[in-house]
Chains A and B, each alone.
Chain A
Amino acid sequence: MAGHESTYEAKSATAKWWDERLPIARMMHDQFVDFPTPRNLNYMWTFGGILMFCLVAQIVTGIVLAMHYNATEVAAFSSVDNIRRNVNYGWMIQSMHAVGASMFFVAVYLHIFRGLYYGSYKAPREILWMLGVFILLAMMAAAFMGYALPWGQMSFWGVTVITNLFSSLDAIIPGMGTAIVTWLWGGFSVTGVTLNRFFSLHYLLPFVIFGLVILHVWALHVAGQNNPTGLDVKTKGDTVPMAPYAVYKDAVALFAFLIVFAWFVFFLPDYLGHSDNFIPADPLVTPAHIVPEWYFLPFYAILRAVPDKLLGVIAMFASILILLFIPWLDTSRVRSTKYRPMYKWFFWLFVITCLALGYLGAKPAEGSYVIWAQIFTFYYFAHFLLVMPIVGILETPDKLPNSISEAVLGKKGERRDRDESFGGGLGAPAGAAAAPEKR
């Protein structure tokens, strides 16, 4: 993909001058205009562009908010309130940033499930996938620290609970966990010192994410995009140039996404947050239920499902880090779940598991909620550690089409509206779709 011939032509004298010194226009042309994209991409492939928008939107609104925000114990809460009340359009910018965090996660989770369904983590896209996992981790850290900044009750107690998780390391080396927690807090409890460093890191992390995103896109443009068939691009006919085709489609999806985004910004600015965060932080009063933001709920459920504190913390971190290993845990040579009759069921079971864990994470840890959380936590890990390796071996995949073009156009070139309609058995499938020879 990256090796496709450059079609860039420097037209003006200035463009030629630049092209010989820093061919940035050539790179942009080759990578984002003429770049070949599989012609059968569906709308699930538009979330990359949407996520890029989300990151930039968060950075822009965040920079404006930081101009009015005051990261001190006494003034943080009031400064956010002041932004909403008195800063020109502050109510809108603050809402865009807070809702934007949620929308960022909506998009990233859909992006990840897309990757899981179509096997986008398999060879030769392992590094691409792993960079994505690191982006997710950095996003989570940024979101967690950002949620601390309004310094409301849920901010304060969320920080207290989550930073305290590290004290579980005392079970390994007595005193180590406590020492780490004290170091994180910059004191012996969560204070304005903690808030100030969180603000510093919250401003730093988006730029770390930006760097990782550049690597992620680079890796993508080396391996090329996966596609709903999971087949490799073989001929030029399998692709269309990114501009205008993919760009146009991305624009449609972005604007549709913005409708949902704006719906929350303007009509439901508080819906995704917690009412307790409109109460200033008070170290003396614990809220009745401490719950994280919705996008952390599945992981929170996993944390609480494990009876032992240290093991719970390990399980929570493992639930994300395990994603790093799935390129090798999945033994199937077929990328797209579309051709995997057995795995398909397990995939949707996994989706239900994640939703159920999210629901349970919002519930108090008592009674049957705990049992259910344990059952779903078991399946969460079993999906990666048992289902992925075993189903890949047991399953006989459906017949694959010979090429992307055939999948789109049908075998004799007659038009098919939907790409599910092939598979009507001609010849042998185009071999293993996961390019195992490259592993």
Chain B
Amino acid sequence: MLRHTKTLSALAVGAAIFATPVALTPAFAAGGYDQVIEKVDWSFGGITGQYDKTQLRRGFQVFQNVCASCHGLSRVAFRSLSQPGGPEFTEEGVKALVAEWPHQVTAGPNDEGEMFQRQPLPTDPIVGPWKNEKEARAFNNGAYPLDLSLIARARTYSKDEPFWVQVPNMVKHIATGYEQKGHDYLYSLLIGYKEAPADFNLGEGLSYNISYPGKQIAMVQPIPEGGAVEYGEDAGAPNTMEQQSKDVVAFLAWAADPHLNTRKATGWQVMIYLLITTALLYIGKQRLWARVKKQPA
């Protein structure tokens, strides 16, 4: 049986009464246990995973041509695209990219005291098309295309599992370094657009999506069946919805966690140091204590 938990915790309700009335309808706000989630074997998952540079490049291509027409990536600077551990475009490539970026940034004031629009510089954030949230909503039927900088770490899903399933899973996830729930969710969301069932009451201007909590989402399907962009011959990946969804989620994973490669590599150095030191200390301790185990100190 499907369970719709639209119940906020008792205290959350109490808190909400104190706060200004909640802007969203429960259908959007509430989490559901009935989301369809497809797990992906991410290259950057687990304790040894690293980003696949070519995948990040493909993912950026999708982001640039599809997502960027509505979404910003305002916590990520263009220059980051050329830094190690990311898509690693050349600095020239990034300069060429900002020169043609479709959205300008507001700069100034100039010597006349006026603010003005200009092309972004490599040090500027990857700006979206909107000046502010109000403008974004005005152009999007009242919905707000979120900034995607941290989206990959800001999403998760939960399943209504009994504790004898949940607790072993928890142990498994800790042991295998699994932290990809948000990525799986985003991927599932991108491929989750389906025809709404006849008895489903779909809101005006919304789309039906089997992976979204509440199943109706304001974003229209961004990547169609045959893919949204044409990958080059050397991209090494097919032009399918699944592939392009995976690629763009990988790119967003990097955007949210640009130091993952260094983090995991450093992690293993630390781990090896700690394991060896612990073993040596243990041997030393055993030898030291052997003296006093036998006779009174």
Contacts and interface: CB of A to CB of B under 8 A. Distances in A.
Interface of A: 39, 78, 81, 84-85, 91-92, 95, 157, 160-161, 164, 189, 236-237, 239-241, 244-245, 248-249, 251-252, 255-256, 258-259, 262-263, 265-271, 275-276, 278-279, 283-291, 303-304, 309, 359, 364-366, 405, 408-409, 413, 415
Given A85-B258, A291-B9, 14 more contacts: A81-B150, A85-B76, A92-B263, A160-B19, A248-B285, A249-B285, A266-B264, A271-B173, A275-B181, A284-B23, A286-B15, A286-B22, A290-B8, A364-B9
Interface string B2-39: 00010111111011101110111000011100000000
Interface stretch (B91-99, B228-236, B241-249, B287-295): B287-295
B6 to A, nearest CB: 8
B267 interface: yes
Contacts of A39: 292, 297
A316 to B, nearest CB: 11
B75 A255 contact: no
Contacts of B155: 275
B285 A289 contact: no
A266 to B, nearest CB: 3
12 contacts: A85-B259, A244-B288, A248-B281, A262-B267, A270-B179, A271-B173, A275-B153, A284-B20, A285-B24, A286-B16, A289-B8, A415-B294
Q: Which 9 A-B pairs have the closest CB atoms?
A: A266-B267, A237-B296, A278-B154, A288-B31, A267-B177, A255-B278, A275-B156, A91-B259, A278-B153
B278 A252 contact: yes
A157 B12 contact: yes
Given A91-B259, A239-B297, A262-B270, A365 B9 contact: yes
A405 B292 CA distance: 11
A267 B270 CA distance: 11
Nearest to A158: B15
Contact of B289 (A245, A255, A287, A415): A245
A39 B295 CA distance: 11
Contact of B263 (A189, A269, A286, A365): A269
Contacts, number: 170
B271 A263 contact: yes
Contact of A290 (B9, B22, B156, B282): B9
B266 interface: yes
B29 A405 contact: no
A241 B258 CA distance: 49
Q: Which of A288, A365, A366, A408 has the most CB of B within 10 A?
A: A288
Contacts of A364: 5, 7, 9
A409 B296 CA distance: 8
B275 interface: yes
A259 to B, nearest CB: 5
Nearest to A181: B18
Nearest to A168: B14
B75 A245 contact: no
B256 interface: yes
Contacts of B153: 270, 275, 278
Q: Which of A95, A267, A275 has the most CB of B within 10 A?
A: A267
Q: Which of A81, A285, A304, A359 has the most CB of B within 10 A?
A: A285
Interface of B: 5, 7-12, 14-16, 18-20, 22-24, 29-31, 47, 75-76, 80, 149-150, 153-156, 163, 167, 173-174, 177, 179, 181-182, 213, 256, 258-259, 262-264, 266-268, 270-271, 274-275, 277-278, 281-282, 284-285, 288-289, 292-297
A258 B12 contact: no
Q: Which of A78, A271, A304, A309 has the most CB of B within 10 A?
A: A271
B157 to A, nearest CB: 9
Given A160-B15, A266-B270, A255 B29 contact: no
Contacts of B267: 262-263, 265-267
B289 A91 contact: no
A278 B29 contact: no
B9 A304 contact: yes
A287 B209 CA distance: 21
A427 B135 CA distance: 87
A399 to B, nearest CB: 22
A258 B296 contact: no
A161 B15 contact: yes
Contacts of A161: 11-12, 14-15
Contacts of A245: 288-289, 292
B297 A189 contact: no
